[in-house]
Structure 1
Amino acid sequence: MEKQYDAVIVGYTCVDLVPGFRKNSPVTSTSVFFKPGKLIEIGGMDFVLGGVPPNTGLAMKKFGKKVFLNGLIGEDFIGEIAAQGLTRAGVSFNMIKTGGAGTAFSIVLAPPGVDRIFLESPGCNRVFGMEHIDFEAIQKSRLFHFGYPPLLREFYLNNGQQLQQMYGEVQKMGVVTSLDFSLPDPESESGTVNWPEVLERTLPHVDIFVPSLEELIQTMVPEAYAKIQSLPGDTEIVDKIPLDLVKQVGQRIIGLGVKILLVKMGHRGALLLSGDISSLNKKAGIALEQDKWNNREILCGAYKVDKSKGINATGAGDTAVAAFLTAVLNGECPETAVKYAVMAGRESLYCENIYKEIGRWEQLAHKIHVEQNELKCFL
């Protein structure tokens, strides 16, 4: 049965307020850059659609896929910016408006040379629940992608009851299910959630899981994450996490029923793990070569970054996911799919506005063909 949409992208929606830091002054340490009393001159402020539906959805549209975006916005000025932005992008969407809370927004501090810092106001995402999800649109789609549970209160309350219920309902539709995450703030309500238990109950209903390295370790093995975080030195935590631990946790996730796991590791590249993917090919519009995808372990190194062209890392993970999901929908082999993810993540670093500036699918393919990176296949 032919589907109306390639993917329905649902979840946390916001507007990013991005100060324009000077590109020619790379930062080596946020502690030195953001000093009390220091004046930092910026080149303006960009208002950019953010969150999973705009970031991943619009990138997938740029990559040639028919997408439908679903989320919740407020009846306020920022909500008008979000709706107008999606309308201008020419994408199908159902952004439900609520008067109960304002539209979510984030102030993204992303000076060149360091990872970004978010000042986040979740707004109406705190009341976004199953009643706001367009299941009719999902039924018409090949793939359902959702994010970010730690910022969506209704989906982590009661040990993630709505999260598990939602994925269970979508799985019954014969639609491929995909999940993205965000780091729980330890100082917020979501930081008190038993995330290992929530994921153990939810992941059996998830086909594709695409967390970042930090998200994977913090949510699945919080004790190990805390121990790694406390290690001395100025090294980024991404570099402190041992690859063996990532593989160990990854295999545990595959054991829970996830068919494909993509771990986004920033400048370390990406790790892909898979189990038996035969059940995916029983779903409408999916045709993966099982002998190439079954029980794989692939480490893909990052492509070289031209720091002189780097603008910021906002949305890099979501763009990488968009490319990976597009490759899966296209029936690419796992080696190629993970390369698309890593290349798209790299290319997004050069974009002030990802939706306008990211290359199309053919351009990504050409860059992959021309540029070299390290690819290790363990299984």
Structure 2
Amino acid sequence: MENSRKIVVAGHICLDIIPRWVKGNLFDLVPGHLLEMDGISLSTGGVVSNTGIDLKKLGFDVLLLGKVGDDYFGKIVLDILRREGEEIVEGMIISPGETTSYSIVLNPPGTDRIFLHCPGANNTFSDGDIPYEKLKDAFIFHFGYPPLMRQFFIDDGVHLKNMFEKVKEMGVITSLDMAMPDPNTDAGKTDWIKVLENVLPYVDIFLPSIDELLYMIDRENFEKLNKATAKEEVITGDLLSNLSDKLLDMGSKINVIKLGNQGLYLRTSDKEAFKATALDKAIDVSLWSNKELMAPCFDAPVIGTTGSGDATIAGFLAAITQGTSPEMAIKIAIGVGSFSVGSIDATGGIRPLSEVLHRIREGWACMPLNISHEGWIHKDFYGDIFLKDFS
């Protein structure tokens, strides 16, 4: 397969600073006391490093586009990214005088983590920072985590809309990932329905998680999901269809909803809507129009789930560049996500795309689909896959 098509991954990036605890807990953090640590881990977090590095590991030409300060943390972020290749950081924005975003992760044994987070340069990143001249040869432009980037959610998402409109005019496939807004911040109080109505007409591929999507456009079911002991108590095939109807009405063309340990849902628009996109240079539009699919996760040992959603997105974008069918695209996405959970960190479990495809084609067992899907058609397509209104 030819993987030379460039994918630009832009948006949120930060430095994760993780002290290694040997004993004690958070209650030992009292004024005037010293608590000894056993070294420290430094890693990058956010869509730029997670989805971007995943795509690089899958074998694709990737350009990373995030914003850091010209401080020591910014230098560390760039050094970490350069381990994957000097060329991938050529799009990174270094802003003089700004603070690089960071999180101090307090994670003592047997205790839930506490994050001390500084948004830093992510909050000043706007559409005016994008080096559009570097996107001219891009095949896909993927942007992630606008709820964690102030300029991209204020004023009903005008900066986000302007950015996607410009990129779309360049004939580039556009893709958008979300993050969960903090209810106690301005992002949490934003009217996300208005933001999506403004932005989605310029987005070809929209890839939120079910939690994020419900928070943004269906708060009643979001509250039910928060109270449920398992996602499948609230999520049904009918609910996913209703949610995707709203997204299609807002203007998106391909909707991919991440369902956590229940798998992945895919819904696409009709042929007429595809005409306003650059997707026809990648996929067979006749195969992709009016599709509604759902597939469970592959059976894989779970060591860590950090970054698994970003990995699933990387797999889906990889499938788009290869011109696969929607059925194979959803399988590749789930496959990459399933490789991801085999590692404690966000990107360590990712293998080349050829290995993912080999595992799928050799008969990778699927987990059961517990989400109600009455009326859906079951097919065996490298494992279980479910279709609605399939023709």
Give yes or no for TM over 0.5: yes
Alignment of 1:15-164 (within 5 A): 15-18=15-18, 45-90=40-85, 91-93=87-89, 94-107=91-104, 119-164=116-161
| Percent of aligned pairs with the same amino acid | 35
Matching residue of 2:10? 10
CA contact (8 A) 1:260 1:277 kept: no
CA, structure 1 residues 178+269, in 2 after alignment: closer, same or farther (shift >3 Å)?
Answer: same
Shift of 1:354: 4.7
Question: What amino acid is the match of 2:259?
Answer: M
Q: TM-score, normalised by structure 2?
A: 0.83
**Secondary structure, counterpart of 1:89 in structure 2:** coil
Matching residue of 1:348? 340
Shift of 1:225: 1.6
CA contact (8 A) 1:176 1:280 kept: no
**Secondary structure, counterpart of 1:335 in structure 2:** helix
**Secondary structure, counterpart of 1:362 in structure 2:** helix
CA contact (8 A) 1:149 1:181 kept: yes
Matching residue of 1:376? 386
Matching residue of 1:25? none
Deviations 1:3-35 (A, max 9, x none): 98521111111122356799xxxxxxxxxxx88
Q: Distance in 2 between matches of 1:355 and 1:99?
A: 29
Matching residue of 1:27? none
RMSD of Structure 2 on Structure 1 (CA): 3.2
Number of equivalent positions: 361
Q: Distance in 2 between matches of 1:266 and 1:118?
A: 22
Matching residue of 1:208? 205
Structure 2: gaps of 5 or more residues: 30-34, 367-383
**Secondary structure, counterpart of 2:66 in structure 1:** strand
CA, structure 1 residues 375+326, in 2 after alignment: closer, same or farther (shift >3 Å)?
Answer: same
Alignment of 1:211-360 (within 5 A): 211-229=208-226, 231=227, 235-236=229-230, 240-276=234-270, 279=274, 283=278, 286-307=281-302, 310=303, 312-360=304-352
Q: Which has the higher contact order (CA 8 A, sep 6+)?
A: 1
**Secondary structure, counterpart of 2:281 in structure 1:** coil
Matching residue of 1:31? none
Structure 1: gaps of 5 or more residues: 23-33
Q: Distance in 2 between matches of 1:300 and 1:326?
A: 18
Question: What amino acid is the match of 1:92?
Answer: I
Question: What amino acid is the match of 2:206?
Answer: F
CA contact (8 A) 2:26 2:108 kept: no
Q: Distance in 1 between matches of 2:275 and 2:19?
A: 42
